[in-house]
């Protein structure tokens, strides 16, 4: 699933952002909804599914391994699963495009099935290390032949029965945790993951919803998540809430563009995903929750955000796991705050779709923003609400979040910000630029 030809875009101010919008379905939940439905016996129905390239890569891989998956309307999908243990040998390599989530979680699924699968991806994904998933899955008995550095292309030879393990996460990673739990679904006995720092818990919530026997207990070592293997998952009807990571771009854009008054509807507010909102509120952002409710077992609300002066903060490092994907757009918010914002504790950003610390430091510096780079984050001296100079051509590095974050920065810049390639935005938010036109006074 290669990206299309590069699409350059020049971004200039277009007035306040007003009205309301609905963000696409949560990417993390969309991946898991397809995977767990594919492992249930019977027909599951999903609404609100994110139809970006990453999630479509997951659907294609599951089809290749025997699941019957059909799109029945906008965001509406029907899945007839093969049952836990029922995945079939794929006839060709599984093409993951740019999706690290698809790759790591599907590696977990395949690891405890007696099949062999080859995973390939685009240039960005092929540069990302997979060793943190290879290690625990190898302990369970799976065998790997990877490219140098534990990277794609990669061949995985699964094993059944696999060996249940107790695995302590060396770094906070919901993807690694989920991969081990998914491998544990088809493994006799109890597979445990010890999580010293809590990460997003969508897998745990949804696995329980599908009928898996899963327990969570607090321990001095952290959260211990235990899954009983050889599970029988029951088909479900799933409504996917809006993606808080996608909402983050609008929360920052409306906060920094004078006169903005925006309602972002149906945003998932799982406590493991709300770090950006907490950080923005600490900076003085005007964000209020409307109509808080529950959708598909997840807390949801409409978020009303208005332009407000932002003040620099030291971002609490304990927020990092709950906002790891939102750091690039938080860096943009910091560029418009009064004072010097320090955001650290985010080593994980070095191994995302790009090195997001280096990429954002380079892009913001090119636009006239003073940045100091650390191994685990950035310090950014903001404008106090004034427009940044802009006037630069910046590199998205095949990273959708860099492209969208720098688009937000360009909305309050003295001179246009040119982004070399916005095509990667289709991986997570295909309608982003149309939505921007819809809420801008000057489309």
Q: Binding site residues, as ranges?
A: 27-28, 32, 100, 128, 173, 175, 325, 352, 356, 401
Angle, helices 174-185 vs 202-209, to 10°: value is 30
Q: State the binding site for 3-phosphoshikimate.
A: 27-28, 32, 173, 175, 325, 352
Give Cα 388 distance to the centre of its chain: 28
Q: Which residues contact 434 (CB under 8 A, 6 or more apart)?
A: none
Backbone angles phi, psi at 75, to 5 degrees: 75, 5
Alpha-carbon gap, residue 264 to 25, rounded angstroms:
13
**Residue 325 annotated to the active site:** yes
| Peptide bond just before 198 cis, omega within 30 deg | no
If phi > 0 it is left, if psi is from -120 to 50 it is alpha, else beta; for residue 74 that is beta
Extract the tokens encoding 310.
């932002």
Binding-site residue numbers for phosphoenolpyruvate are 27, 100, 128, 175, 356, 401
Q: What is the 3-state secondary structure (H, E, C) of 348-377?
A: HHHHCCCCHHHHHHHHHHHCCCEEEEECCE
The distance from CA 438 to its chain's CA centroid, rounded to whole angstroms, is 24
HEC profile of 59-91: HHHHHHCCCEEEEEECCEEEEEEECCCCCCCCC
Strands 370-374 and 377-381: what pairing?
Answer: antiparallel
H runs (alpha helix) in 100-220: 100-111, 123-126, 131-139, 174-185, 202-209
Say which residues have a Cβ less than 8 Å from residue 73's Cβ, sequence separation at least 6.
none
SS3 of residue 311 by DSSP:
strand
C-beta of residue 50 within 8 angstroms of C-beta of residue 26: yes
Local structure of 34: helix, strand or coil: helix
- Residue 227 has φ and ψ, to the nearest 5°, of -120, 135
Identified catalytic residue from 325, 399, 420, 438: 325
Helix (H) or strand (E) holding 191: strand 190-195
Residues 413 and 390 sit within 8 Å (Cβ to Cβ): yes
Give the Cα-Cα-Cα angle 207, 167, 324 (nearest 5 degrees): 70
Question: Crossing angle of helices 356-366/327-335, nearest 10°?
Answer: 30
Q: Which residues are tagged catalytic?
A: 325
């Amino acid at each position: 699933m290669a990206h299309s030809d590069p699409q350059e875009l020049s971004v200039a101010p277009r007035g306040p952002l007003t009205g309301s919008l609905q963000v696409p379905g949560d990417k993390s939940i969309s991946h898991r909804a397809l995977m767990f439905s594919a492992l249930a016996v019977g027909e599951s129905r999903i609404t609100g599914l994110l139809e970006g390239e990453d999630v479509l890569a997951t659907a294609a891989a599951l089809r290749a391994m025997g699941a019957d998956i059909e799109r029945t309307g906008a965001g509406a999908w029907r899945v007839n699963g093969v049952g836990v243990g029922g995945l079939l040998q794929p006839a060709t390599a599984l093409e993951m495009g740019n999706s690290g989530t698809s790759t790591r979680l599907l590696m977990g699924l395949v690891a405890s099935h007696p099949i062999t699968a080859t995973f390939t991806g685009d240039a960005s994904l092929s540069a990302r290390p997979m060793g943190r998933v290879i290690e625990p899955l190898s302990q369970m008995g799976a065998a790997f032949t990877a490219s140098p550095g534990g990277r794609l292309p990669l061949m995985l030879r699964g094993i059944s029965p696999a060996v249940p393990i107790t695995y302590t996460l060396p770094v906070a990673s919901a993807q690694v945790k989920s991969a081990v739990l998914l491998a544990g679904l088809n493994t006799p006995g109890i597979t445990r993951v010890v999580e010293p720092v809590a990460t997003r818990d969508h897998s745990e919530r949804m696995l329980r919803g599908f009928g898996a026997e899963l327990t969570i207990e607090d321990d001095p070592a952290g959260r211990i998540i235990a899954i009983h293997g050889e599970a029988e998952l029951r088909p479900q009807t799933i409504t996917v809430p809006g993606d808080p990571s996608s909402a983050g771009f609008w929360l920052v854009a409306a906060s920094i563009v004078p006169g903005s008054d925006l309602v972002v509807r149906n945003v998932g507010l799982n406590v493991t995903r709300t770090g950006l909102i907490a950080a923005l509120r600490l900076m003085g952002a005007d964000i209020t929750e409307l109509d808080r409710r529950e959708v598909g077992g997840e807390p949801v609300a409409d978020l009303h955000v208005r332009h407000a002066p932002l003040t620099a903060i030291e971002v609490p490092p304990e927020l990092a796991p709950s906002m790891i994907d939102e750091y690039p757009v938080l860096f943009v918010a910091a560029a418009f705050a009064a004072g010097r914002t320090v955001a650290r504790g985010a080593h994980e950003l070095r191994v995302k779709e790009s090195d997001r610390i280096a990429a954002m430091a380079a892009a913001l510096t090119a636009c006239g923003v003073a940045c100091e780079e650390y191994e685990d984050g950035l310090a950014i001296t903001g404008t106090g609400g004034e427009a940044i100079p802009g006037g630069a051509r910046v590199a998205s590095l095949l990273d959708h979040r860099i492209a969208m974050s720098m688009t937000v920065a360009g909305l309050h810049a003295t001179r246009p910000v040119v982004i070399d390639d916005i095509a990667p935005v289709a991986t997570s938010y295909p309608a982003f630029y149309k939505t921007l036109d819809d809420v801008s006074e000057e489309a």
